[in-house]
Chain A
Amino acid sequence: MPAGHGLRSRTRDLFARPFRKKGYIPLTTYLRTYKIGDYVDVKVNGAVHKGMPHKFYHGRTGRVWNVTKRAIGVEINKQVGNRIIRKRIHVRVEHVLPSRCTEDFRERKKKNDQLKAEAKARGEIISTKRQPEGPKPGFMVEGATLETVTPIPYDVVNDLKGGY
């Protein structure tokens, strides 16, 4: 009998709970709130059977477009053939984590706002643009001794010592 292609096929390891983390899931997952527009990661929790997304979405990140009583609507990109479709799925909160993908951006925004405010107070204009890493600066080599290498004339007697 061939292997089937059911909804949860090939998910034996994917949906398995990690080592020594079986049983009740910690309550923070239930206490988190999600607003429309937040970025979330979809990570299936095999202990909760309801509201599981399809295995394709495990590990994907999307934006919240709907919030219901126990679940969240997430909009995720999926490549179908030669195009990318924005798919809307509903997932229970146990299978969702808040994403840290925008964390760096938000931190930078805060810092930049602070820097700009300080610069305005001082009266200067600063650029808060990120610059790519440039070439390394030049430096002087320290502690180098010069060794001049010159060719020595070929000496038949010495060189044939081993195998004459």
Chain B
Amino acid sequence: MAFVKNQKTRAYFKRFQVKFKRRRQGKTDYRARIRLINQDKNKYNTPKYRFVVRFTNKDITAQIISASIAGDLVLAAAYSHELPRYGLEVGLTNYAAAYCTGLLLARRVLKMLEMDEEYEGNAEATGEDFSVEPAETRRPFRALLDVGLVKTTTGNRVFGALKGALDGGLDIPHSDKRFAGFKKDEKQLNSEVHRNYIFGGHVAAYMRTLMEDEPEKYQSHFSEYIKKGIEADDMEALYKKVHAAIRADPTVVKSSKPAPKEHKRYNLKKLTYEERKARLIERLNAFNAAADEADSDA
């Protein structure tokens, strides 16, 4: 290898300031976090709740979290992998599933705080902008939307989850500018289009076009839907049932599996000094043995 000038000298490393760990991992936006967590000092220990929505490749996580010096505390959580319990088995990361997850979280929190009778929210999911009205006795549960590192374009699924939580009865400051179906030209939300998205209408439309034009792709893309026997026309009724089931019983079901005594190890265990020395001796012996063989052969 040609001589390459060492670009990162010892001096470079000595002066290097690492970013915060979660920034290095690319998971936390501290600029947003500071502004979400900062509580007025004259409100002392009153918690400020964030409505956190995160998407993975196969799951949606919605949580209500308050911050503390020891670590954030999760008040309630809802995952889209719980939705099979309410009758939705496929499409667990689409806009409609996000709506269901947000709705589930909202009903769960309100039930936990015994506010669910007062704040029914919007039982009928029209796509219109709905904000909770404060009732007589208690003020509504207020949380602030925390999107994380997502690009907040119009029609993003986080706003689907937001709509679910709003219809569930939470008080989250928002505007309808980013809901699916908002037209920038008219500066108005087309609630029909939004309602379509909430009930998976966009998925159903794609299913129909694929069935007509490319049946093989339809078979491969929507294989799970076909296995469960869900057609494009069933979608709206299915989601209506899921919404009703969620409102009926949003309580958490604890998993019946017993907690494993030892936790599975996900990374390699670091060797001790003795183990590393022993390994080195083994490798040297093996190397010498191989060298002796090569000598005796040649």
Residues of A bordering B, CB below 8 Å: 20-24, 26-28, 30-35, 67-72, 93
B19 near A30 (CB under 8 angstroms)?
Answer: no
Which residues of A have CB within 8 Å of B40? 69-70
The docked-state distance in angstroms from the alpha carbon of A21 to that of B16 is: 10
The docked-state distance in angstroms from the alpha carbon of A70 to that of B38 is: 9
A28 near B17 (CB under 8 angstroms)?
Answer: no
The docked-state distance in angstroms from the alpha carbon of A14 to that of B34 is: 25
Check A24/B17 contact, CB under 8 A, given A32-B69, A69-B42. Answer: no
A34 near B41 (CB under 8 angstroms)?
Answer: yes
Please name 5 pairs of A and B residues whose Cβ atoms are closer than 8 Å in the assembled complex, sorted by A: A21-B17, A24-B31, A27-B30, A27-B37, A35-B44
The docked-state distance in angstroms from the alpha carbon of A70 to that of B41 is: 6
Check A31/B41 contact, CB under 8 A, given A20-B17, A24-B30, A24-B31. Answer: no
Interface size class of B (residues with CB under 8 A): 20 to 34
Check A30/B17 contact, CB under 8 A, given A35-B44, A67-B42. Answer: no
Judged by a CB distance under 8 angstroms, whether B15 is at the interface is yes
The docked-state distance in angstroms from the alpha carbon of A35 to that of B45 is: 10
B186-206: which have CB < 8 Å to A? none
Which residues of A have CB within 8 Å of B69? 28, 31-32
The docked-state distance in angstroms from the alpha carbon of A69 to that of B69 is: 19
Check A27/B15 contact, CB under 8 A, given A33-B45, A34-B41. Answer: no
Which of B15, B38, B41, B45 makes the CB contact (< 8 A) with A71?
B41
Which of A22, A26, A31, A33 makes the CB contact (< 8 A) with B17?
A22
Check A31/B42 contact, CB under 8 A, given A23-B19, A24-B30, A24-B31. Answer: no
The docked-state distance in angstroms from the alpha carbon of A20 to that of B39 is: 28
Which residues of B have CB within 8 Å of A22? 17
The docked-state distance in angstroms from the alpha carbon of A75 to that of B31 is: 31
The docked-state distance in angstroms from the alpha carbon of A26 to that of B38 is: 12
The docked-state distance in angstroms from the alpha carbon of A21 to that of B18 is: 9
Which residues of A have CB within 8 Å of B31? 24
Closest CB-CB distance, B254 to chain A, in whole Å?
31
Judged by a CB distance under 8 angstroms, whether B266 is at the interface is no
Which residues of A have CB within 8 Å of B33? 27
B238-273: which have CB < 8 Å to A? none
Which residues of B have CB within 8 Å of A28? 69
B contacts with A: majority SS: loop
Which residues of B have CB within 8 Å of A67? 41-42, 44
The docked-state distance in angstroms from the alpha carbon of A32 to that of B34 is: 13
B17 near A93 (CB under 8 angstroms)?
Answer: no
Judged by a CB distance under 8 angstroms, whether B20 is at the interface is yes
Check A33/B44 contact, CB under 8 A, given A20-B15, A24-B20. Answer: yes
B41 near A72 (CB under 8 angstroms)?
Answer: yes
13 new A-B contacts, CB < 8 A, other than A27-B30, A70-B38, are A20-B15, A20-B16, A23-B19, A24-B34, A26-B20, A30-B34, A30-B37, A30-B39, A31-B67, A32-B69, A67-B41, A69-B40, A70-B40
Which residues of B have CB within 8 Å of A24? 20, 30-31, 34
Judged by a CB distance under 8 angstroms, whether B152 is at the interface is no
B4-46: which have CB < 8 Å to A? 15-17, 19-20, 30-31, 33-34, 37-42, 44-45
The docked-state distance in angstroms from the alpha carbon of A32 to that of B39 is: 10
B41 near A93 (CB under 8 angstroms)?
Answer: yes
The docked-state distance in angstroms from the alpha carbon of A71 to that of B30 is: 21
The 5 closest A-B pairs by CB, nearest first: A20-B17, A69-B40, A24-B30, A67-B42, A30-B38
Cβ-closest chain B residue relative to A25 = B34
The docked-state distance in angstroms from the alpha carbon of A68 to that of B40 is: 7
The docked-state distance in angstroms from the alpha carbon of A68 to that of B39 is: 11
The docked-state distance in angstroms from the alpha carbon of A30 to that of B37 is: 8
Closest CB-CB distance, A125 to chain B, in whole Å?
40
Cβ-closest chain A residue relative to B44 = A33
Binary interface profile of B, 155-194, with partner A (CB < 8 Å = 1, else 0)?
Answer: 0000000000000000000000000000000000000000
